[in-house]
Amino acid sequence: MSETPTSPRGAAPPGAKAPPGFKAPTGAAPAPNPIDAPAPQMEPGVDAPKAAAAPPGAKPPPGAKAPPGATAPKPAAPKPAPVAAPVAAVAVAPVAIAVKPAAPKPDPAKVAAAPAVAAAPVAPKSVSRREFLNYVWGASMALFLAQFGGISFLFAMPRFREGEVGGRFSQSVADFGYDANGLPNANNVGKFWMVKVDDTINAIYKVCTHLGCLYGWNSTGKIFACPCHGSQFAVDGKWIAGPAPRNLDAFKMQVLDASGNVIATSNEAGEMLKLPANADRIIVDTGAKISGKAHF
Amino acid sequence: MAIIGKRLVDQVRSTGLKATVAQRLDDGFTRLTSGLSWNDVRGVLRGDPPGKPNNRVKPHTEAFWFHIRPTFYHEAVTTLYPTFRLGYMSALFFAIEIITGIFLMIFYTPSPERAYQNMLDILTNVPFGQLMRDMHRLGAEVMVVVVTIHMWRTFLTASYKKPRQFTWFTGVILLIVTMFLSFSGYLLPWDQLALWAVTIGTSMADAAPLVGPQVNLLLRGAPDIGAGGLLRFYLFHVVLFPLIGVIFVAVHYYKVVRYGISLPPEMEGVGEDSARKVGPDKRVNFMPDILTNELVYAAIAIALLTIASGTFYNAALETHSNPLVTPNHTVAPWYFYWLQGLIKIPHILPVLPEALSTQFDSIMFNVLGITPKILWGIIIGPVIPLLLMVVPYIDPNPSRRYSDRKVMITLGVIFEVAILYLSLAGIPTGVPVTRFGFVGGDPASEIAQEFMPDEGVGKVKRVPWDQLAVGTWQIVPPDEAPNAPEFNHLLRELQQDMDHRTREADPNGKKLSGGTANVRVKLIQPDVKEFTLTISFTDDKGQPQQYSKTNYLHRNSGYEKE
């Protein structure tokens, strides 16, 4: 509160060198018509909070009619000399505002000035060149940061090609079914079970659709059961119970005959595939995973 | 240089050598303390009243470590209530984690080939290595608890209200950082728990809408957790999350210095904040009172943590991670149980009767494509931390008095009870109080899991080697082996467990029917015995079934001592 008037800039005598960035009407003589002062010369930071709060020309601030100095809270208020006042208002008021944005509304400098003069530090409505350039700089920085974010994402993404984890596996028809202990056959590299129900087959992804655990085969119930949260699935991958949201995922299969022609492929839903009579080999593509059907 | 030397010589001439050395040492000491001479510090240690002017505020204005602490507190917040020192404890545990963590880092390499071996080294070859690891692990779990209770206290005393809204906001971020710090450390030992608990955790991220699969890939470094995932989690754990934590602790602490610690609600008028308007008679200076007090709390907390880590608490290290086998009953960390419980809610409107809610679910699925799991796990789950963040901004009530906040406190208690209930429901082994508990294996495999777990020791391995009587022993009714009291006790416990599961249904409503069982112990090598439990029972369809599980025990395993 008290440092404003005693600060070197605030105490500058009327007509002294204007603070940097603010071009006061020159000379010690009263400004002929401060309203004519070109708006772009104003600094955005100088006028923003205060002037917006009290547009002088439109509505005089409370206490404006009081005699100068009477209501002024600052002991070292500029001398209300009639001649020097306009210049003091122009030179001092913006500085006082900039140093102490929370200064009380009846600013002595403004009070001292005639309404027309007090209108000098009004907020410029147009954008100054410097303000515009700062926006441009800011925008270019924002653009750079956005690009950097995108690059960071690409940089941090793991690099692997489809099929690199597993790949295309060639299985014989006999691989699909159960082993001697009643356990469905599995391909541990490709992480899939090769299940067979009657004459339909499927390659079922070994990972539970709930939270990524490897479910196991429950030989007593002849079902798949997850050790983590107890989801259960039928041998064809259909959900039976537990927290899993959907049926087990399956991999796309191509059934080849003895001469290598594709004679059947998995459908879009990844359902059990009916095995043609002349089937010879089955290609399981672990790069093409088909999500199981959601249930509710 | 010459001038300094001349001054020194002059001083020695005028005051003598001893006084000069003492004065120069005190000068250096004063620089170290940013303004307190040795006599000033002794005054602090003796509890002398501060001088006038009080030069004990100098470290608060001049030095870094003290400038993040206030110069004084209101005497009303220096008692145990209302703060319970929980914020200080959170920061203390953060510091303990950083220090013990740096020690562990010395002996650790984040690679699948080396990590597990490093863990064994830390536990067996490094002096105090096991203590460091136990303190780090236990401290992490305690920190989650302390931070959570700290938040709960702040809610109850309404300390989040103006002007402390943003302090609360950063606090929620710190809670999330704490959980992620703890969780990211899970993977580093590279044992089975590490691999599968983190697989479960990242799969939760995978289920998130739109960005889930990308986030999952970023976290895991590959479709499955491997070398890339281990390195990533290591970097999260030792660089990214600690950095975020330190930054937000700084902001959080700055806000405490700026606004003070809120007074007990009953001491303030409605909408008033007087934590910084403290009359001289109400002030308790940071130096020495608060400082001494905090040192005592730190000493007690560190002592308890050290004693617990040195005695009964042993951070588990399971077998080496195996991407082809998921052990039974693998769980996410306990502080994510509420999320798992949320996913288990079977209907969109679980309060309706069963038939009606099924109808409603099918309508919602057909019209909006929303299933209960999408709603609860993927939409509601992430909303909860966001909801916590905005609490101070949406609470319209300016009063901090308990009597004026009945609605908010009731909501808070409901929220807390809901989280606890969901956490219970999220426990994979299920809790009978919840309607939607565990959907597990058949009772026979559950018995085997209880006595011979996939991971950990279990009751069978605790039987002393000498008492494992070779032969085949019936369990219903239990046989008696000669001179083997603990083995016979095990057989009786097995019989009681089977009897219990025959009479009472488990949380899934499953019972053991027609169960008989035997244990066969075989000496298969001079120092190795094979223990096989075989349970025969009748399944749901009336078919006879058999389940068996085998453990191998070595003479020198030493499990019975654990």
B379 and B257 in a single domain? The answer is no
User: How high is the pLDDT of residue A181?
Assistant: 79
Range(s) of the domain holding residue B206: 75-310
User: How high is the pLDDT of residue A12?
Assistant: 43
B259 and B353 in a single domain? The answer is no
d(CA A220, CA B24): 85
- A210 vs B203: CB contact, 8 Å cut-off? yes
Average pLDDT, chain A: 70
User: How high is the pLDDT of residue A48?
Assistant: 42
Which of the listed ranges A134-143, A226-235, B273-282 does the model predict with the highest average pLDDT?
A134-143
Which tokens in the block code for residue A176?
A: 């699909």
- Give the pLDDT mean for B273-285: 87
d(CA B392, CA B253): 18
C-alpha dihedral, A125 to A126 to A129 to A134, nearest 10°: 70
SS3 annotation, B115-150 = HHHHHHHHHHCCCCHHHHHHHHHHHHHHHHHHHHHH
Q: Which of B452, B463, B433, B457 is nearest to B517 (CA)?
A: B452
Which of B202, B373, B422 has the most A C-beta neighbours within 10 Å, making it the best mutation to test the interface with A? B373
More confident residue, B427 or A104: B427
Given B221, B373, B441, which is nearest A158 (Cβ)? B221
More confident residue, B368 or A271: A271
pLDDT per position as a tens digit, A19-40: 444 444 444 444 444 444 444 4
User: How high is the pLDDT of residue B429?
Assistant: 64
Query: Would B322 be classed as within a structural domain?
Result: no
Query: Would B57 be classed as within a structural domain?
Result: no
Burial class, B221, CB count within 10 angstroms (exposed 0-12 / middle 13-18 / buried 19+): buried
Identify the CATH number of the domain in which residue B215 sits: 1.20.810.10
Q: In this model, does residue B469 exceed pLDDT 80?
A: yes
Alpha-carbon B531 to chain mean position = 36
- Give the pLDDT mean for B339-346: 78
Residues of chain B positioned with their CB less than 8 A from the CB of A241: 439
Query: Would B316 be classed as within a structural domain?
Result: no
- B439 vs A215: CB contact, 8 Å cut-off? no
Q: Does B119 touch chain A (CB under 8 A)?
A: no
ipTM, 2 dp = 0.73
Which of A220, A232, A233, A249 has the most B C-beta neighbours within 10 Å, making it the best mutation to test the interface with B? A220
pLDDT per position as a tens digit, B383-415: 899 999 999 999 999 999 999 999 999 999 999
pLDDT tier for residue A97 given thresholds of 50, 70 and 90: very low
B148 and B226 in a single domain? The answer is yes
Query: Would B45 be classed as within a structural domain?
Result: no
B374 and B475 in a single domain? The answer is no
Residues of chain A positioned with their CB less than 8 A from the CB of B438: 230
Average pLDDT, chain B: 88
Query: Would B267 be classed as within a structural domain?
Result: yes
d(CA B303, CA B503): 47
Q: In this model, does residue A52 exceed pLDDT 70?
A: no
d(CA B185, CA B103): 14
B188 and B274 in a single domain? The answer is yes
Q: In this model, does residue A60 exceed pLDDT 90?
A: no
At residue B71, the 3 state secondary structure works out as coil
B211 and B354 in a single domain? The answer is no
pLDDT tier for residue A57 given thresholds of 50, 70 and 90: very low
B155 and B102 in a single domain? The answer is yes
B115 and B190 in a single domain? The answer is yes
Into how many domains does chain B fold? 4
Segment 532-561 of chain B within 8 Å of chain A by CB: 539, 545-547
CB within 8 Å of B97: residues ≥ 6 apart: B136, B139, B140, B143, B181
Query: Would B326 be classed as within a structural domain?
Result: no
User: How high is the pLDDT of residue B436?
Assistant: 55
Q: Does A145 touch chain B (CB under 8 A)?
A: no
User: How high is the pLDDT of residue A241?
Assistant: 80
Least confident of A98-112, A217-231, B17-31: A98-112
Query: Would B39 be classed as within a structural domain?
Result: no
User: How high is the pLDDT of residue A59?
Assistant: 46
C-alpha dihedral, B289 to B295 to B299 to B300, nearest 10°: 40
The distance of B216 to chain A (nearest Cα, Å) reads: 10
User: How high is the pLDDT of residue B479?
Assistant: 86
pLDDT per position as a tens digit, B434-467: 455 555 567 787 888 888 888 878 888 888 888 8
B268 and B360 in a single domain? The answer is no
Residues of chain B positioned with their CB less than 8 A from the CB of A152: none
Residues of chain B positioned with their CB less than 8 A from the CB of A220: 442, 444-445, 539, 545-547
pLDDT per position as a tens digit, B311-325: 999 998 999 999 888
- A220 vs B328: CB contact, 8 Å cut-off? no
pLDDT per position as a tens digit, A211-236: 888 998 887 778 898 888 778 899 99
DSSP string for A22-57: --PPPSSSPPS-GGGS-GGGS-HHHHHHHHHH--TT
Alpha-carbon B545 to chain mean position = 42
Residues of chain B positioned with their CB less than 8 A from the CB of A242: 439
d(CA B184, CA B242): 11
Q: In this model, does residue B248 exceed pLDDT 80?
A: yes
The distance of B363 to chain A (nearest Cα, Å) reads: 10
B451 and B526 in a single domain? The answer is yes
Query: Would B235 be classed as within a structural domain?
Result: yes
Classify the phi-psi angles of B262: left when phi > 0, otherwise alpha if psi is within -120 to 50, otherwise beta. Answer: beta
User: How high is the pLDDT of residue A9?
Assistant: 44
More confident residue, A7 or B243: B243
CA angle B217, B219, B223 (to 5 degrees): 35
SS3 annotation, A209-233 = CCCCCECEEECCCCEEECCCCCCEE
User: How high is the pLDDT of residue B146?
Assistant: 97
User: How high is the pLDDT of residue A166?
Assistant: 60
Burial call A183-209: b when 16+ CB within 10 Å, e when fewer = ebbbbeebbbbbbbeeeebbbbbbbbb
Percent of chain A with pLDDT over 90: 23
Least confident of A19-33, A154-168, B365-379, B464-478: A19-33
B408 and B459 in a single domain? The answer is no
Alpha-carbon A49 to chain mean position = 29
- A212 vs B199: CB contact, 8 Å cut-off? yes
> What is the identity of the amino acid at A172?
S
Q: Does A211 touch chain B (CB under 8 A)?
A: yes
For chains A and B, CB pairs below 8 A equal: 95
- B223 vs A160: CB contact, 8 Å cut-off? yes
Given A158, A228, A294, which is nearest B326 (Cβ)? A228
Residue A243: closest CA among chain B residues belongs to which residue? B344
- Give the pLDDT mean for B30-55: 89
Q: Does A154 touch chain B (CB under 8 A)?
A: no
B97 and B172 in a single domain? The answer is yes
pLDDT tier for residue B103 given thresholds of 50, 70 and 90: very high
Q: Does A181 touch chain B (CB under 8 A)?
A: no
Q: Does A183 touch chain B (CB under 8 A)?
A: no
